[in-house]
Copies of this chain bind each other. A is one copy, B any other.
Amino acid sequence: MPPSSPDVPGSTEASRSASLADVAALAGVSAGTVSRALSRPDMLSEATRTRVLAAAERLGYVANGAARALAMRRSFTVGAIVPRFGRSSFPTMVQALEATLAAAGYTLLLSAPERARGHDPALLRALLERGVDAVALLGADQPPAVFAALAAHRRPFVLLWAEHSAQGPCVGFDEADAGAQLVAHLASLGHRRIGILSGSTVDNERAQRRLRGLTAAVARHGLQLHPEAVVETETGFAPGFAAMQTLLARRTPVTAVVCANDYLAAGALSALDQAGIAVPAQMSVASFNDNDFAAFLHPPLTTVRLPIQEIGEQAGRLLLASLRGDAPPANPLLPATLVVRASTGPAPG
């Protein structure tokens, strides 16, 4: 990519990088021809094509995307708004998204606001100003203004990790089914009294859905779910630790606990360990598995594994389809897989 000799012999001034015109001059053709040589090589004669390409190579020519975007009215750039980046499974998703897009010549413009700025309309505006051709949004709980702006600017978009949305296409997990698998497993082992450690549902549509799916399954199986047995908390190890302590302190009798994600599970298991409660002998623990590290927590636990990467890939494909003008396919709903690592019924008594 860099010219073998950064400066062209003859042009002493090492000023700005080479433009189409420079290449054209060196190759002895017009700028238009150079443009074609680069984008539609088959339109040129063999001779000129090689001559132009050589000149471009020699000058270390790199196209000016701004000029191209201005002329073509598209930037080959996709924006993504992804809150709560660190300490979550989002990065895995984003990498998959980026890889899928990159393979098609698109680059990702990332907006990774911390929680407070999560719904700031300025985020999307910044992306729009950069001329993104499409946008990936995490979660379905976006303010209406976002969709309005997207529509006003005719930008295709996709919601990641969202099951349904009246607003547009989305790709998500079948979380209700995932929760049902977890609960069914516990029920089959004979557990009747369940506890739940949920992620904070305020302003978090995914956590809400996860909790709803769980409670619905509990009801279907006729299990007991005491209101006191549901603890809602921030996601993280420490919060999970504290939440489990809270649950224990309430002394609500439960024989199994379902954690809404593996961060909470990790913390909860630590708390149980510290309290001297054996898992799964005295207490069963099951968990959603977003980050795939739950498998290595100390006591074996049962999880439903969500295919995080695939969300990113599917979202990428969907976006590319929209950009190509294809009709968007039906919203994919990715299945979760139950992984059983400990099978124990409730402790007697």
In the bound assembly, the distance between CA atoms of A70 and B267 in angstroms comes to: 51
At the interface, yes or no: A321 with Cβ under 8 Å from chain B?
A: no
> Which residues of A from 44 to 62 have beta carbons under 8 Å from B?
60, 62
At the interface, yes or no: A158 with Cβ under 8 Å from chain B?
A: no
**The one of B112, B126, B267 that contacts A296, using a Cβ cutoff of 8 Å:** B267
Inter-chain contact A107/B111, CB cutoff 8 Å: yes
Inter-chain contact B241/A270, CB cutoff 8 Å: no
New A-B pairs, 16, CB < 8 Å, besides A1-B121, A90-B91, A110-B110: A2-B148, A64-B129, A65-B69, A66-B68, A67-B70, A77-B109, A77-B130, A85-B92, A85-B98, A87-B92, A87-B291, A94-B110, A98-B111, A102-B111, A107-B130, A108-B109
Determine the residue in chain B with the shortest Cβ distance to A77: B130
In the bound assembly, the distance between CA atoms of A68 and B70 in angstroms comes to: 9
Inter-chain contact B91/A85, CB cutoff 8 Å: yes
Shortest beta-carbon distance from A146 to chain B in Å:
8
**The one of B86, B98, B152, B293 that contacts A6, using a Cβ cutoff of 8 Å:** B152
Inter-chain contact B102/A94, CB cutoff 8 Å: no
Determine the residue in chain B with the shortest Cβ distance to A240: B296
Determine the residue in chain B with the shortest Cβ distance to A309: B86
In the bound assembly, the distance between CA atoms of A266 and B237 in angstroms comes to: 14
Complex interface bits, A304-342 against B, C-beta within 8 A gives 1, otherwise 0: 000001000000000000000000000000000000000
Determine the residue in chain B with the shortest Cβ distance to A147: B2
Determine the residue in chain B with the shortest Cβ distance to A274: B298
In the bound assembly, the distance between CA atoms of A149 and B3 in angstroms comes to: 8
Residues of B near A92 (CB, < 8 A) are 85-87
Residues of B near A125 (CB, < 8 A) are 1, 62
Instruction: From known contacts A107-B126, A148-B2, infer whether A70 and B66 are also in contact, taking CB-CB under 8 Å.
Output: yes
At the interface, yes or no: A131 with Cβ under 8 Å from chain B?
A: yes
In the bound assembly, the distance between CA atoms of A270 and B91 in angstroms comes to: 25
In the bound assembly, the distance between CA atoms of A73 and B15 in angstroms comes to: 13
In the bound assembly, the distance between CA atoms of A152 and B145 in angstroms comes to: 42
Inter-chain contact A152/B94, CB cutoff 8 Å: no
At the interface, yes or no: A151 with Cβ under 8 Å from chain B?
A: yes
At the interface, yes or no: A26 with Cβ under 8 Å from chain B?
A: no
Inter-chain contact A110/B111, CB cutoff 8 Å: no
**The one of B3, B111, B131, B152 that contacts A152, using a Cβ cutoff of 8 Å:** B3
Shortest beta-carbon distance from A306 to chain B in Å:
14
Inter-chain contact B17/A153, CB cutoff 8 Å: yes
Shortest beta-carbon distance from A49 to chain B in Å:
20
Residues of B near A270 (CB, < 8 A) are 296-298
At the interface, yes or no: A141 with Cβ under 8 Å from chain B?
A: no
Residues of B near A266 (CB, < 8 A) are 293, 296
> Which residues of A from 1 to 60 have beta carbons under 8 Å from B?
1-3, 6, 16-17, 60
